A and B are shown apart, each in its own frame.
Chain A
Amino acid sequence: MSRYEAVIGLEVHVELKTETKIFCGCSTEFGQAPNTQVCPVCLGLPGSTGVLNKKVAELAARAGLALNCKIGAYTWFDRKNYYYPDLPKGFQISQVFRPIAYQGYLDIEVDGREKRINITRAHIEEDPGKLIHASGSIMTSRSSFVDYNRSGMPLIEIVSEPELRSGAEAKAYLEKLKAILEYTGVSDVKMEQGSLRCDANVSVRPVGTAALGTKTEIKNMNSFRAVQRAIECEVDRQIDVLEEGDSVVQETRAWDENKGITMSMRNKENPDYRCFIEQEVSPIELSDEWIKDLRATIPELPDARRKRLVAEHGLPDYDAGVITSSLALAEFFDATLEKFPEAKKISNWIMGELLRLLNARGMELSQSKITPAGLASLLELIEKGSISNKIGKEVFETMFEEGQEPAQIVKEKGLSQISDEGQLTRIIAEVIAKNPKSVEDFQAGKEKAIGFLVGQVMKATRGQANPGVVNTMLREKLAE
């Protein structure tokens, strides 16, 4: 048992799912050529003035409500002043003094234990542009490039209380947060496209003490798994530092995914951002009525949906948890269930084949060609005995890659099960003739030998025989 406990708070930046940027009409589409989605406003050209995109306030308030936050009836924007080449105005417009949402929470579950993590605040801000260095860092690179397509993308920053105690809890928090934001349509929450970014504030303290240790801020983590590893690694490092009688330095550290360590980036002596009220953008005023109407549009959230899948369809809680961890999966499950009424079988295929293939290919569900109707037809084919479970997996993979109808795949590839007893009788006879040792073993009471013989028949039919039928016919033949 460690003498130390970790104290972790997360700052999560989430890009809001709007068509246009926060203060101008430029498109927010991801992956376009650099500096093609810009205008005087998001380039901060002299004299340009912006106007708040109403959708931004709506999505931010929506996220706040889904995270059980209070919503500020009157909030405003402030300027955070600092110099950096990706920041076209020399200040970032953010909500420093009054966040649109505050005092919320979300519930996580780690190792079967539930825990409530309080959320300090969620505030709106604009994203800066993106710097690309020819080599190294901005101070060492011979030249650097700036892409302002990202400048002025709407963000919310969600700040948790320092109530997480392990990397695993942090990962669970992020997974839950991601699911909630996806369910509510607030964001695409794609970490690989930068629409979800996470920094972690980590400190350790002796178990049983209340005072906080010196914290470090960890950046540059590109997956939830990386967040977990980086935190675990940083906690170990800080404990080592303390054990050796040194003290932790307050600083920003970068996670190095390849080396699996955190490295010092810069000492952070709390820069003075000289924040003050932004005068060029109107405050956000939200009426109780508007907030009430918005609350009514918040859909069923992951926890509620998970409970419903257990209660209504008898799914094991674990299965329900996996399926509801992503809105896309949950909707896929529901749509399949409408056409094929066996919930557990569907969840087995989703958790088995579907997630296996998605993970192996590093794909999103929307990128695969599999449809709920397709999976339902496949399950029917298996149910009717037209194909075996094993062939079913092969068909599934083809559907996943190419999107054909399962019946068509079975037909084209000649995968239909051989139930024709005449043909099977002949093959079984051949297998018995070729494997006298196994026949002998079986007849001597070694039950296992039958499995080998069934396997040989399956092999001879290239898997197209119905294994149940083969088993019965073999036993009958051997009993003769």
Chain B
Amino acid sequence: MKLLTLSVHQLGELMERKEFSSEELTRVHLERISQVEDEIKAFVTVTEEAALAQARAVDQKRARGEELSLLAGIPMAITDNICTDGVKTTCASRILYNFVPPYDAEAAARLKGAGAVLMGKCSMDEFSIGPAEEKSGFFSARTPFAPEAAPGGSSGGAAAVAAGEAAFTLGSDTAGSLRQPAAFCGVIGLKPTYGRVSRYGLISYASSLDQIGPFARDMADLALILNTICGHDAKDSTSAAVAGPDFKKSLINDVKGLKIGLPKEYLANTEPRAAVKIWEAAAQLEELGAVCEEVSMPHTEYALPAHYIISSAEASSNLARYDGVRYGLRVDADDVLNMFSKTRGQGFGDQVKTRIMLGTHVLSAANYDDYYVKALQVRTLIKQEFARTFEKFDCLLTPASSTIAGQSRKETDGPLAAYWSKACNIPVNLAGVPAMSLPFGLVEGLPVGLQFIAPHFGEEILLRVGYTLQQNTEQTRLKPGLAC
């Protein structure tokens, strides 16, 4: 079924030419979902009826000759920590098992406004709190390349795009959840600059780190989606008062003269077979005219513990509202205090509880200065290190994951050990800069991803580098083993 592998703009153009209707396209995707979901498990909720109704509405508009976005009628899916009006949004947690938001997240509203058709909600780690990919409150997704392996990070959204269940998806990234899963599933994931996309309606895990972004199949799609979701939102204080540029203008097949840095510390920590692919990509970029150079970012090793402390602290506070009083799970008890503890005790999984306890510990008056304040200081140093590095380089090239799909360290190695697989992703969230994961060939049949990191609001460079590579090497276009 060819339709399932086409890009958004290809599908959009075909629908403009009336080759098929959005309803037909939606039905094809619904069929695909029912065919592969048992294995992929990318969705926690499929909104079949609503999707068909939305698709028919787009078809009617097209029949009336209304001017439509290229996204109109395109099947998409949204990760289950992004609120969707009238559609259950659970964060893959028992504690929110029945929560139906009365409003759309801003990014979801903008995509729906452009006519994109919501197929359903994608699976994730409970509240995105990894790193154990097996710890979803419900179940965990699989990469279509190797269904025995988890897709990495916390996003079924990457698996859904790779398996042809949706043409693109929206996810969030606190510790690499848009980039590692993209790498493991052979699709593109982009974490925009913090503040570039409104966080309104994104259920907070770690407020200062969380950022919404897309999974897509090619760079033109990425530009199209970014054009729709980026830009200031007056409802969100963290939304930057910066207008989104026209990202389509960044689809330039030229990297001549671009200075690309390769941070040593990232490569040193990476599974050697993945690291080899980075050098291969660097060679290719040099061939295309870029200048690649090694660079040292010595604070990198402190990013992980700092991120762990900051994200645990913020999570312990952000997750306090799930107390059984207003919505979600409530376990009745004799008095209100017991109701709180029983509800939270039964509603949260072990990973989440661990992080709440850690966060509570590091924020308590006795430990605050030793942990939380120190972590904030480290964060400042890391931001400064990025700023200094970007004085010399236009962007950085690193592995998108320090491990290969299905070979992430095991939960039994301890929580922090599993966290290490995101060591290449995490400094980016601390610094708030944008980064993109781009597929780059296979190692033993499993996809490997490149991560490009740009300065604040430098997404245009990411698109330009990605577009050039996509135009010049087949390695960036991967076909999953689970044939479409």
Contacts and interface: CB of A to CB of B under 8 A. Distances in A.
A91 B96 CA distance: 19
Interface stretch (A42-50, A113-121, A423-431): A42-50
Nearest to A280: B207
Interface in B380-406: none
Interface stretch (B257-265, B315-323, B461-469): B315-323
Contact of B202 (A47, A83, A275, A282): A47
A49 B200 contact: yes
Contacts of A47: 81-83, 89, 101, 105, 200-204
Contacts of A45: 101-103, 327
B238 A49 contact: yes
Contact of A90 (B91, B314, B320, B364): B320
A91 B320 contact: yes
A144 B337 CA distance: 13
B236 A81 contact: no
Nearest to B324: A85
B336 interface: yes
A85 to B, nearest CB: 5
Interface centre among A52, A90, A282, by most chain B C-beta atoms within 10 angstroms, is A90
B82 A40 contact: no
Contacts of A139: 335-337
A138 B339 CA distance: 12
A45 B203 CA distance: 9
Interface in B85-131: 89, 91, 96, 99, 101-103, 105
Interface string A23-64: 000000000000000001001111111111000000000000
Contacts of B327: 45
Given A49-B236, A51-B237, A81 B320 contact: yes
Interface in A253-306: 272, 274-276, 279-282
A13 B237 CA distance: 26
A46 B336 contact: no
Given A274-B363, A276-B372, A85 B317 contact: no
Nearest to A44: B321
Given A139-B335, A281-B237, A274 B317 contact: yes
A90 B323 contact: yes
A229 interface: no
Nearest to A138: B336
A146 interface: yes
A50 B236 CA distance: 6
Size bracket of the A interface: 20 to 34
Interface in A386-405: none
B234 interface: yes
A79 interface: yes
A43 B326 CA distance: 9
A49 B106 CA distance: 11
Contacts, number: 104
A139 B134 CA distance: 39
Contacts of B360: 274
Contacts of B237: 49-52, 280-282
Contacts of B235: 49, 51
Interface centre among B105, B201, B364, by most chain A C-beta atoms within 10 angstroms, is B201
A138 B336 CA distance: 7
Interface in B308-343: 313-314, 316-317, 319-323, 325-327, 335-337, 340
Contacts of B355: none
Contact of B363 (A40, A44, A81): A81
Contacts of A146: 325
Nearest to A52: B237
A280 B204 contact: yes
Contacts of A52: 237
Contact of A46 (B101, B208, B317, B340): B101
Interface string B193-230: 00000011111100110000000000000000000000
Interface in A97-139: 138-139
A455 interface: no
A90 B105 contact: no
B63 interface: no
B243 interface: no
Given A52-B237, A88-B321, A279-B314, A272 B364 contact: yes
A52 B365 CA distance: 27
Nearest to A140: B335
A307 interface: no
B397 to A, nearest CB: 30
Given A272-B365, A279-B207, A85 B323 contact: yes
Interface in A125-184: 138-139, 144, 146
B363 A276 contact: yes
A339 interface: no
Interface centre among A51, A139, A275, by most chain B C-beta atoms within 10 angstroms, is A51
Contacts of A282: 237-238
A50 B235 CA distance: 6
A47 B234 CA distance: 15
A79 B317 contact: yes
A205 interface: no
Given A139-B335, A282-B237, A40 B317 contact: no
A385 to B, nearest CB: 66
A360 B11 CA distance: 78
A81 B201 contact: no
Contacts of B326: 43-44, 88
B345 to A, nearest CB: 13
Contacts of B322: 90
A177 B363 CA distance: 35
Interface string A367-379: 0000000000000
A70 interface: no
Given A81-B320, A274-B363, A46 B91 contact: yes
Contacts of B363: 81, 274-276
A47 B328 CA distance: 14
Given A49-B236, A274-B363, A280-B207, 8 more contacts: A40-B102, A51-B237, A88-B321, A90-B320, A138-B335, A274-B360, A280-B204, A282-B238
17 contacts: A46-B83, A46-B91, A46-B101, A47-B202, A49-B236, A79-B317, A85-B336, A88-B326, A90-B322, A91-B320, A146-B325, A272-B364, A274-B363, A276-B363, A276-B368, A279-B238, A282-B237
Question: 4 tightest CB-CB pairs across the interface, nearest first?
Answer: A90-B320, A274-B363, A279-B207, A279-B208
Interface of A: 40, 43-52, 79, 81, 83, 85, 88-91, 138-139, 144, 146, 272, 274-276, 279-282
